[in-house]
Structure 1
Amino acid sequence: MDGIKKRKHALLEEYASIAEKSNRIDPELYIKYDVKRGLRDINGKGVLAGLTEIGEVTASYVNEKGETVPGPGKLIYRGMDIKDIVNGFLSEGRFGFEEVAYLLLFGELPTINELNEFKSLLAEYRKLPPSFVEDAIMKLPSRDVMNILARSVLALYTYDDQADDISISNVIRQCLQLIAQIPLLAVYGYQVLAHYHQKKSLVIHVPKRRYSTAENILHLLRPDSKFSHLEAVILDLSLVLHAEHGGGNNSTFATHVITSTGTDTYSTIASSICSLKGPRHGGANVKVVQMFEDMKQNVRDWDNEGQIRDYLNKLLNGEAFDRSGLIYGVGHAVYSVSDPRAEILKEYARELAKEKGFEEEFRLYEKVERIAPEVIAEKRKIYKGVSINVDFYSGFVYRALNIPEELFTPLFAVARIVGWSAHRIEELVNKGKIIRPAYKSIAPQREYVPLSMRNAKMDSLAGNL
């Protein structure tokens, strides 16, 4: 058997080499044909692919001495600045996620009665079909909660008698159910993962009707169901800040693309979850925490800015952590001077650090926040400003909340399901065409070669299997 495995491995390595050679495209050709790689120009501005009323992400600009320079970034939900929304519900001592969900889905802030009815409906939907946890989650435990989420959402299709009905009323019903159910799927998925793969006790709590989404997550996650008010407030705030980010982010654009085919809600949302899983999208907050853990091991004096700078230079040179050449949590495709989500979250992260005894580590984060843009500017040509993004502090917050890393990205999905749902509805209401951008083929024309006349360079390997 070992011999067969070795031959298979050799064949696959050969296939990989051939595939790399046959698929490599000269980077100069992208310039020649004016292809915007990543659908973004050199300044990071996205190619205009659609219109939306749901969310807007902007890098504002200011005039300084006659010169236009990048200014603070802005995040807008249905025409309202995220900072005003957050200040609104926090100043009144309320949780904001459900209110923001209503705003994003229906375009207006709810009245007291509308908000209470909406929360009551979500509470009614906050349950899974009978035996779903046992049949769909426990019998096939996964090492990745995002895979559990995607698979479970697809499984919910089989429980819906109107699964393929894409009328707006039915899609709203499906989306509201998923907004209520995905927190359960995420936490239950983690509990099963922890039990089967980490040999921990299996804890399955039932959600409480009177709790908000954030409160229920902490209640479901912790064996003793206990949490402080500050913990719930900060988790709720994180959900609000992650709920929407314009139509052009990868997972939301995927929502538009998949919706435009006319497929069902479950297939669409599962696709969005798969997009968000990627470390270059929703998985970045995990990378930030892991990067800092490596930094803490390799920077002896956390107050020594020279040592911190040396470590950051090693990151950029591909000599530290995962050797990717990236400083995770720093930089964004749109924001330049600042990410408003990071600014808001940072202030509450500071408060949480005091409560949880993470003040020394928080100061390290602050130093990296200040030094990293300087190090990047020294090494690389920057066409716009560079600053930290929301992933920089969200991972810190989740860690301070004692939330396991396996749930960092799923919590992103718990929040972003609201934005995905709003964009799916918008795509269906406007009856757009199927989304189909163009790719230019640069392959030269060739003649077909009969099998008997082809070079049999792979025969020796394949024939031994």
Structure 2
Amino acid sequence: MSIYSEIRPEIKSLAKSCIDNSRIDPELYTRYDVKRGLRDLNGKGVLTGLTNISEIVSSKTVDGRSVPCEGKLYFRGYDVEELIRRQPKEDNFGYERIAYLLLFGDYPDGSQLAEFCELLSFYRTLPTSFVRDIIMKAPSGDMMNTLARSVLTLYSYDEDAEDISIPNVLRQCLQLIALFPLLSVYGYQAYRHYHDGQSLFIHQPDPKLSTAENILRILRPDCKYTALEAKVLDIALILHADHGGGNNSTFTTHVVTSSGTDTYSAIAAALGSLKGPKHGGANIKVVQMFEDIKAHVKDWEDDEEISAYLLKLLHREAFDRSGLIYGMGHAVYSISDPRAKTMASFVEGLSREKGRTAEYKLYENVERLAVKAITKDRKIYKGVSANVDFYSGFIYSMLDLPMELYTPIFAISRIAGWSAHRIEELVGSGKIIRPSYKAVQEHREFE
């Protein structure tokens, strides 16, 4: 064992002291009206900022009361479901259109989109020897760590890294939007080669292709993909591009940006947030849960057998014994998550192309029966529905994306939203974000 991994015996006793002196009586949170997780007792987020970029709608006011409604997501005032419906069927540049909209506030026309794509293509080139000297050296098994390290290293290649003027920050953000697919996929290829002994493929991106198409091109040994595969991945990128200012990684972007730090540090912090299984890593848990379902449920069309397994999940008797049905429920949405609805509409077609319709039917059955199981077994203050993670992992599986890239794909998409929010914070704030914590430790004197 390396000294960097060794937990010496004395650390274990010191850790106990850490634990004992880090506990806070839960009653104190109620006494001091602390909004844990920046959410009130009804689960509603505490208002900490304003944004023009995106909006989540999960309730409406009826007779002076807040009532749950079908979920809606808006980018710059446009309904995301409508934005996806209007995407031309003949190309896969939907994500580029949405990135433009998030950054600049208006939906691009043909010439604006072409200019934007040309900019991204221009910046989709890594510094000389970056792949050899950075990505190939000490490859990590976690691609999010690899991605964060690469982002921080790019600081060293930027002569104006500390300049936080808007033109320079926009240039940095466009570079990161362009480079995230390369940094993620090349990092995976390096790990797969050095740790798994697989052949090493470092394909160059094609300047004529979209972000979704280039991801599939540089990942696959033969660079080939179908039109439907590229379209579905493009839709997934759109749906993950932003989600209000309050999600953990975007709020992190605002918080770190408000300190006046550089773009690379702010985005690396957002990546650290997104890596967490409670945030960007949730779809991996869904896929792993379904593997367990397929191993223990014999008849995938038997409602009773599926329901019995779901109850075991809720009662901490199956899978990871967390008491959760992963992919079900959301901090904001109740009746429906519009991203999950949109994804579900594309899953069936892809499952037919991939010969996995039986699995798709299992997902449908679990989604339907999980709502009933949770509603019956748990006391919930709002409705429950499938969230975007419920289907995204299945989609990535059908696209033959390795699980190591599931969360980086999220980051490849969300960098557009993070960039827009960083610029919004720089333009409109000027104040460092600093909420209050109340100290409850009694004062002491040395004896």
| Short-chain TM bin | over 0.9
Match of 2:76 in 1: 78
Deviations 1:307-358 (A, max 9, x none): 1111111111222111111111111000000000000010101110010011
Match of 2:38 in 1: 39
Distance 1:67 1:370, change over 3 A: farther
In 1, are the aligned partners of 2:92 and 2:234 still within 8 Å (CA)?
A: no
Distance 1:54 1:67, change over 3 A: closer
Equivalent runs, 1:205-354 vs 2, <5 Å: 205-354=203-352
In 2, are the aligned partners of 1:60 and 1:74 still within 8 Å (CA)?
A: no
Match of 2:423 in 1: 425
In 1, are the aligned partners of 2:92 and 2:230 still within 8 Å (CA)?
A: no
Q: Which range moved further: 19-28 or 334-343?
A: 19-28
Q: Count how many residue pairs are aligned between Structure 1 and Structure 2.
A: 445
In 1, are the aligned partners of 2:60 and 2:67 still within 8 Å (CA)?
A: yes
Match of 1:413 in 2: 411
Residue type of the partner of 1:335? Y
Distance 1:189 1:396, change over 3 A: same
Deviations 1:285-323 (A, max 9, x none): 111001100111111111111111111111112221111
Q: Which range moved further: 24-33 or 163-172?
A: 24-33
Distance 1:369 1:398, change over 3 A: same
- Distance in 2, matches of 1:84 and 1:407, equals 28
Equivalent runs, 1:56-455 vs 2, <5 Å: 56-61=55-60, 69-90=67-88, 94-449=92-447
SS at match of 2:21: helix
In 2, are the aligned partners of 1:61 and 1:72 still within 8 Å (CA)?
A: no
Match of 2:13 in 1: 14
Q: Which range moved further: 87-96 or 415-424?
A: 87-96
In 1, are the aligned partners of 2:92 and 2:212 still within 8 Å (CA)?
A: no
Distance 1:383 1:20, change over 3 A: same
In 1, are the aligned partners of 2:257 and 2:422 still within 8 Å (CA)?
A: yes
- Offset of residue 448 of structure 1: 2.2
SS at match of 2:86: helix
Match of 2:27 in 1: 28
In 2, are the aligned partners of 1:42 and 1:383 still within 8 Å (CA)?
A: no
Q: What are structure 1's unaligned runs of at least 5 residues?
A: 450-465
Deviations 1:209-265 (A, max 9, x none): 100000000000000000000000000000000000010000000000000000000
Match of 1:463 in 2: none
Indicate the percent of aligned positions where both proteins have the same amino acid.
Answer: 60
- Offset of residue 9 of structure 1: 4.3
In 2, are the aligned partners of 1:62 and 1:71 still within 8 Å (CA)?
A: no
TM-score by length of 2: 0.96
Q: Which range moved further: 169-178 or 314-323?
A: 314-323
- Distance in 1, matches of 2:278 and 2:242, equals 17
Residue type of the partner of 1:31? T
- Offset of residue 378 of structure 1: 1.9
- Offset of residue 93 of structure 1: 5.0
- Offset of residue 68 of structure 1: 5.9
- Distance in 2, matches of 1:8 and 1:121, equals 48
Deviations 1:367-393 (A, max 9, x none): 111111211122221011111100000
Deviations 1:161-181 (A, max 9, x none): 000000000000000000000
- Offset of residue 140 of structure 1: 1.5
- Distance in 1, matches of 2:224 and 2:255, equals 41
Deviations 1:271-293 (A, max 9, x none): 10110000000000111001100
Q: What are structure 2's unaligned runs of at least 5 residues?
A: none
- Distance in 2, matches of 1:129 and 1:93, equals 29
- Offset of residue 16 of structure 1: 2.3
- Distance in 2, matches of 1:441 and 1:110, equals 50
Residue type of the partner of 2:416? V
TM-score by length of 1: 0.93
